[in-house]
Chain A
Amino acid sequence: MSSRTLPSRTSNANNRRSNVAAFARRWIPGVYHALASVATSKLWITGVCHALASVATLTWVGDAMAAETPELMFPVPEFSDHPIPTATVPEVQGQIAPLLDVAILFAALCLASYFTLVSRSRRNVLLLTIASLLWFGFWRQGCVCPIGATQNVALAVFDPTYVVPLTVVAFFILPLVFTLFFGRTFCASVCPLGAMQELIAVRSVAVPRWLDHSLGLVAYIYLGAAVIFAATRTGFIICRYDPFIAFFRLGGNADMLIFGSCILLIGVFVGRPYCRYLCPYGAILRVLSCFSKWRLSIPPGTCINCQLCEDACPYGAIHPPTVAQTPAARRRGKRQFGFALLAAPFLVAGFWWLGTTLAVPLAQWHPESRLAEQVRLEELGVAETTTDASDAFRGSPRSVDDLYQSALTRRNDFVTLGGLLGAWTGLVIGFKLIYLSVRRRREDYQADRAGCVSCGRCYWYCPVEKVRLGLISDVSEALPDGRTPGGPLVQLTVGGKKP
């Protein structure tokens, strides 16, 4: 098409021209056909009619109007008793007062923390979970959510032209602050995505430790990628790959539905797969939860080491008491710690380098980079067909060089950004190795500081808790056959392995 070489006009005018060209191609296959076609062509008839109409109307069209709209093919007529109406557009309608949303989130967080830490009621936590799923999920359709708010905040920090709504800021910060004081009570019963998975975790199997730790790293890498893509306006990938938004809205594209269904299906057997292995906001909360002032404690009194809570936890977040280490094991542990410390800088450097090599695929996430590549292929004559985007580009006044330049600049930016993402990945892996090589002493069964989502399932199983509630008079009544309080503990956990 030739429109690129013409001086800039509106795309609309180009559009019109290209359509006319399409007609010409359609109606003029040969000389004979051309003559025959022109005689019968609708375009020709319309053209002549409109030409006549133009002449007829030109006399009573206001001069000012004609001067103001030189690009109109047919001037606006002036009627004797019919003023030209003005287009109307509806007013902006907020669905709900933004403050109300924040107030409800705050109330839900307070209730969640109260139910988990003070009243210790799994039943109430569960009820709140269902309520949150209905309100934040199905009624508010999963938007605004703190997980996605991460991207808005990232964009607002890196791009001052973007204005982040205060609701979104509140949604991002409130759960963080609550987590610093009460642990991940947000994950337990406020987050609609967590609630969805909480309710379907019915046949959980234990995930091997090495796999659990490795997959857990994905969330941090996802977080890094989401921040980079949001900050460069490449895309909001957390929203694009939100697992349950299609269910909340009762509609969505096939990818969303398939991904969501897979997460749900896996979630039946592996507790909360999205929260544990993907959720970028969960990744932040994991870290903050390690420093929380108060957190869920399993038995209200003295732990009888019956292991029921560990079996009951679908998220593998309860650790057994540790046994005394042999001097050899302690030396080995120290060596591991040393190696992990030494390896960390190399991991950061290595992954930084790896990240810089990924600039091209990373930049491809931006639609403009894909357009530039398509246009390049078309210019080289390699592309077999044009795309909607490249057609639209040809119709726009923008030059090919400008597009290329912009794509090249972006690619260079992504060398740096890819390096940063790589370094972040290396840092996360390094930290994980160091964290794993540090040994912690536990006298009884304890919830993992990072992994525990404060769902309170363990309360339902803890015999000490049952005694407190007056459901049973003695802890032994709650124990399965052959298990005695504290009895099998030493045999059970020798070498960190269960029989």
Chain B
Amino acid sequence: MSGEQQTDRRGFLADGARVVGVVSAGVLGGYLAGQRGQAEENRWQIDPDKCVGCGNCATHCVLDESAVKCVQCFDMCGFCNRCTGYYTLDGLDSRDTAAEDLLCPTEAIIRTFVEGKAGQNFYEYTIDTDACIGCAMCVKGCALMNGSLYLQVMHDRCVNCNECAIAVACPSDAFVNVSADKPYRLKRIALGVMRQKAGKSDTAAQKLLGQVHADE
């Protein structure tokens, strides 16, 4: 008799605990779901104004090929003949496209002649995203001049880890959480130009601005 009573009491306690558990799980879920209604989910992104081009992005990403790639902001580019993001400092003189004179280790920067004007030749530098490994060599080189090259986490590749391995390794705290509907960043000084362009009904600029997170 006493054994049965004990079983009953234990069963009652277990039932009670179960009900409490299920209810609290429900409350927690409801609370978090309600909280979620107020904002978008987060994604990782690099704040290009904070990035120092240390090179960790190329090596610390959990993907075999880093999700971080270089982006060329043409509206900040000087289209220089002697590009310090394209040539090594020794290569600047010869302007020889031999491998030892180029900064990019994977030939991911494509140099195309645009126009000759006032005795100057101007070249456009575009990034071959598939070849880029996010090493930031060009970013550091370009920082000597206009700083139009900058790194971004590419969200067609990024798997959005809980704790971004590059963010842990980033020396300048440049990895920030941005909302998933606007998961990219621009350098602060490029924002104004881009807005102006978008104002002149430039669809490409409007599209980019739609993807860019801007907190001022």
Interface readout for A292-303 with B: 1 if CB under 8 Å, 0 if not? 110000000000
Task: Find A57's partner among B51, B118, B165 (CB 8 Å cutoff).
Answer: B118
Interface readout for B47-71 with A: 1 if CB under 8 Å, 0 if not? 0111111101000001110000001
Q: How far is the CA of A125 from the CA of B207 in the complex (A)?
A: 50
Q: How far is the CA of A252 from the CA of B60 in the complex (A)?
A: 9
Task: Find A12's partner among B143, B168, B204 (CB 8 Å cutoff).
Answer: B143
- Assuming the A-B contacts A16-B144, A388-B52, are A50 and B80 also in contact, with contact meaning beta carbons closer than 8 angstroms in the complex? yes
Quick check: B171 and A391 within 8 Å, CB to CB?
yes
Quick check: B32 and A169 within 8 Å, CB to CB?
yes
A478 close to chain B: CB less than 8 A:
no
Residue on B nearest A156 in the bound complex, by CB: B32
By size class, the interface of chain A is: 35 or more
Residue on A nearest B3 in the bound complex, by CB: A441
Q: With both chains docked as a complex, state the minimum distance between the C-beta of B72 and any C-beta of chain A, in angstroms.
A: 6
Chain B contacts for A11, CB-based, 8 A: 49-52, 172
Interface readout for B157-169 with A: 1 if CB under 8 Å, 0 if not? 1010111010010
Quick check: B155 and A91 within 8 Å, CB to CB?
yes
Quick check: B162 and A77 within 8 Å, CB to CB?
no
Q: How far is the CA of A50 from the CA of B82 in the complex (A)?
A: 9
Quick check: B92 and A46 within 8 Å, CB to CB?
yes
Quick check: A74 and B196 within 8 Å, CB to CB?
no
Chain B contacts for A56, CB-based, 8 A: 117-120
Residue on B nearest A56 in the bound complex, by CB: B118
- Assuming the A-B contacts A69-B192, A367-B173, are A177 and B35 also in contact, with contact meaning beta carbons closer than 8 angstroms in the complex? no
Q: How far is the CA of A151 from the CA of B161 in the complex (A)?
A: 12
**In the complex, which residues 75-130 of chain B have their Cβ closer than 8 Å to any Cβ of chain A?**
75-82, 84, 89-90, 92-93, 114-115, 117-120, 122, 124, 126
A2 close to chain B: CB less than 8 A:
no
- Assuming the A-B contacts A88-B204, A293-B18, are A73 and B146 also in contact, with contact meaning beta carbons closer than 8 angstroms in the complex? yes
Among B71, B144, B194, the most chain A Cβ lie within 10 Å of the Cβ of B144
**In the complex, which residues 1-44 of chain A have their Cβ closer than 8 Å to any Cβ of chain B?**
10-12, 15-16, 19-20, 42-43
Chain B contacts for A391, CB-based, 8 A: 52, 171
Interface readout for A176-204 with B: 1 if CB under 8 Å, 0 if not? 11001100000000000000000000000
Chain A contacts for B18, CB-based, 8 A: 180-181, 291-293
Task: Find A86's partner among B120, B146, B205 (CB 8 Å cutoff).
Answer: B205
B188 close to chain A: CB less than 8 A:
yes
A75 close to chain B: CB less than 8 A:
yes
B214 close to chain A: CB less than 8 A:
no
Q: With both chains docked as a complex, state the minimum distance between the C-beta of A252 and any C-beta of chain B, in angstroms.
A: 7
Interface readout for B171-211 with A: 1 if CB under 8 Å, 0 if not? 11100010110011001111011101100001011011001
Chain A contacts for B207, CB-based, 8 A: 86, 88
Q: How far is the CA of A245 from the CA of B165 in the complex (A)?
A: 12
Q: With both chains docked as a complex, state the minimum distance between the C-beta of A89 and any C-beta of chain B, in angstroms.
A: 5
Quick check: A86 and B145 within 8 Å, CB to CB?
no
Interface readout for A303-334 with B: 1 if CB under 8 Å, 0 if not? 00000000000000000000000000000000
**In the complex, which residues 99-145 of chain A have their Cβ closer than 8 Å to any Cβ of chain B?**
141, 143
Quick check: A82 and B114 within 8 Å, CB to CB?
yes
Task: Find B71's partner among A87, A162, A291 (CB 8 Å cutoff).
Answer: A87
Residue on A nearest B197 in the bound complex, by CB: A86
Chain A contacts for B21, CB-based, 8 A: 176-177, 180, 288, 291
Chain A contacts for B154, CB-based, 8 A: 89-90
Q: How far is the CA of A16 from the CA of B187 in the complex (A)?
A: 15
Quick check: B115 and A80 within 8 Å, CB to CB?
yes
A393 close to chain B: CB less than 8 A:
yes
**In the complex, which residues 260-293 of chain A have their Cβ closer than 8 Å to any Cβ of chain B?**
288, 290-293
Interface readout for A75-87 with B: 1 if CB under 8 Å, 0 if not? 1110110101111
Q: How far is the CA of A106 from the CA of B92 in the complex (A)?
A: 60
Quick check: A89 and B189 within 8 Å, CB to CB?
no
A385 close to chain B: CB less than 8 A:
no
Quick check: B54 and A388 within 8 Å, CB to CB?
yes
Q: With both chains docked as a complex, state the minimum distance between the C-beta of B164 and any C-beta of chain A, in angstroms.
A: 10
Task: Find B156's partner among A72, A73, A90, A157 (CB 8 Å cutoff).
Answer: A90
Chain A contacts for B156, CB-based, 8 A: 90-93
Q: With both chains docked as a complex, state the minimum distance between the C-beta of A84 and any C-beta of chain B, in angstroms.
A: 5
Q: With both chains docked as a complex, state the minimum distance between the C-beta of A321 and any C-beta of chain B, in angstroms.
A: 15
A251 close to chain B: CB less than 8 A:
yes
Quick check: B77 and A76 within 8 Å, CB to CB?
yes
Q: With both chains docked as a complex, state the minimum distance between the C-beta of A338 and any C-beta of chain B, in angstroms.
A: 20
Task: Find B36's partner among A10, A16, A93, A164 (CB 8 Å cutoff).
Answer: A164
Quick check: B196 and A64 within 8 Å, CB to CB?
yes
- Assuming the A-B contacts A11-B49, A74-B78, A163-B36, are A79 and B155 also in contact, with contact meaning beta carbons closer than 8 angstroms in the complex? no
- Assuming the A-B contacts A15-B52, A79-B115, are A87 and B80 also in contact, with contact meaning beta carbons closer than 8 angstroms in the complex? no
Chain A contacts for B155, CB-based, 8 A: 89-93
Chain B contacts for A169, CB-based, 8 A: 28-29, 32-33, 36
**In the complex, which residues 446-468 of chain A have their Cβ closer than 8 Å to any Cβ of chain B?**
none
- Assuming the A-B contacts A42-B90, A392-B54, are A68 and B143 also in contact, with contact meaning beta carbons closer than 8 angstroms in the complex? no
Quick check: A396 and B50 within 8 Å, CB to CB?
yes
Q: With both chains docked as a complex, state the minimum distance between the C-beta of A90 and any C-beta of chain B, in angstroms.
A: 4
- Assuming the A-B contacts A89-B211, A387-B171, are A395 and B74 also in contact, with contact meaning beta carbons closer than 8 angstroms in the complex? no
A409 close to chain B: CB less than 8 A:
no
Among B42, B162, B187, the most chain A Cβ lie within 10 Å of the Cβ of B162
Quick check: A239 and B163 within 8 Å, CB to CB?
yes
Beyond known contacts A19-B140, A69-B189, A74-B145: 8 more, CB 8 A cutoff: A50-B82, A56-B118, A82-B124, A143-B161, A176-B21, A180-B22, A291-B14, A367-B168
6 closest residue pairs by CB, A with B: A74-B78, A392-B172, A388-B171, A56-B118, A236-B163, A86-B204
22 A-B pairs in the complex with CB atoms less than 8 angstroms apart: A15-B140, A16-B145, A20-B144, A49-B81, A65-B193, A70-B189, A72-B78, A74-B146, A76-B79, A85-B126, A86-B194, A86-B208, A87-B71, A92-B180, A163-B36, A163-B42, A173-B28, A176-B21, A180-B18, A235-B168, A236-B163, A393-B172
